[in-house]
Amino acid sequence: MITADYPLHAHGKLLLTAEYFVLDGALALALPVRLGQSLDFGFRISDFGLEGQKAMHWRSLDEKGGCWFEAKFSPENFDFSEATDPAIAERLQKILQEARKLNPAFLHGPDCGLWTADCQLDFPRLWGLGTSSTLIYLVAKWAKIDPFELSARTFGGSGYDIACAGADGPILYRLENGKPHFERCDFRPPFHNSLYFIYLGKKQDSREGIKNYRQTVDGGRWTVLPELVAKITVLTGRFLAAQTLAEFEELIREHEVLVAETIGLPSAKSLFFNDFWGEIKSLGAWGGDFVLATSDRPMEETRRYFNEKGFEVFLPYDELVL
């Protein structure tokens, strides 16, 4: 069916430190995850009644292989037809069009008659591990263009998620004069067996979170933003260097207080887990997706605590982080 030698793959992401502040130059510690998204592409001449037509057939598949979106796109201008969700088709059209602008040869020319693209997730769509960022990265690699440039032209954001998509382990990431800079770092602390990820069940819109942060900061409430950015950068370095669980938990408390005071939202621990014996760290936009939990008690006791509160997705650190 698909004639590509192998699918392209991109890793999902979690942002351990500097949520929101990474937009203003703070140093962030970001964690690529084992789960991500793959893109397989090639020529197909017999399926879907497309013989003799010039079209690209796109399918988006969930982690179980079920098709949750599909559409046909014209190779001339990426107009779409027969889309199962027009809003999603419009967003994908924008990505493909911008990729063509960056590389005019992308899916263009007399030999680009009938293309197929199958894009499959490794994780449930609502988990917030990077459905959009992995898609941007995959299309950019397919089009042989800069994924950061494609991201800036489409979804925006800091770009840490784009860096995670192609990384093979934890990274330190920051924006300098609006340009991404990142490097591989060693982050697998001695207490990694005491770290767990819990899904809160509310997928967050990162763009909406960024908008709210910008309204708060640009509205003048936080005129000492450079000082706060510097504090977060120092905290990131301390997170990376922490050798004990107690030290790590103290850093979580400091970080959560700084972010909570800046964006004017309560922490996840105060909202959902105020009787939990460990610490809770939000990861990325506050209010949903995954949180990090620390626990010095046995894994099954810790799992039981969250399960009894209705949070079923409980993943040990090594099971998720690349």
Q: Kindly give, in sequence order, each residue whose CB lies less than 8 Å from that of residue 31, ignoring residues fewer than 6 positions away.
A: 13, 14, 15, 16, 164, 170, 187, 321, 322
The answer to whether residue 226 scores a pLDDT higher than 90 is no
Q: What is the CATH number that goes with domain 192-320? A: 3.30.70.890
In the chain, residues under CATH classification 3.30.230.10 are 8-184
Q: What is the DSSP letter of 51?
A: T
Other beta carbons within 10 angstroms of residue 102's beta carbon come to: 16
| Per-residue confidence band for 92, with pLDDT thresholds at 50, 70 and 90 | very high
Confidence class for position 248, pLDDT limits 50, 70, 90? very high
Q: Closest by alpha carbon to 238, among 250, 228, 256, 224?
A: 250
Q: Which one has a higher pLDDT value, 320 or 6?
A: 320
Q: Which helix (H) or strand (E) holds 264?
A: none
Strand 55-61 relative to strand 171-176, pairing: unpaired
Q: Residue 246: which residues within 8 A CB-CB, separation 6 or more?
A: none
Instruction: Residue 18: name the closest of 5, 2, 34, 30 by CA.
Output: 30
**Percent of the chain with pLDDT strictly greater than 90:** 73
Least confident of 28-32, 86-90, 250-254, 258-262: 258-262
Q: Which CATH class is domain 8-184?
A: alpha beta
pTM as predicted: 0.89
Residues 6+ apart with CB under 8 A from 214: 23
Residue with token string 């990861």: 283
Domain with CATH 3.30.70.890 in the chain: 192-320
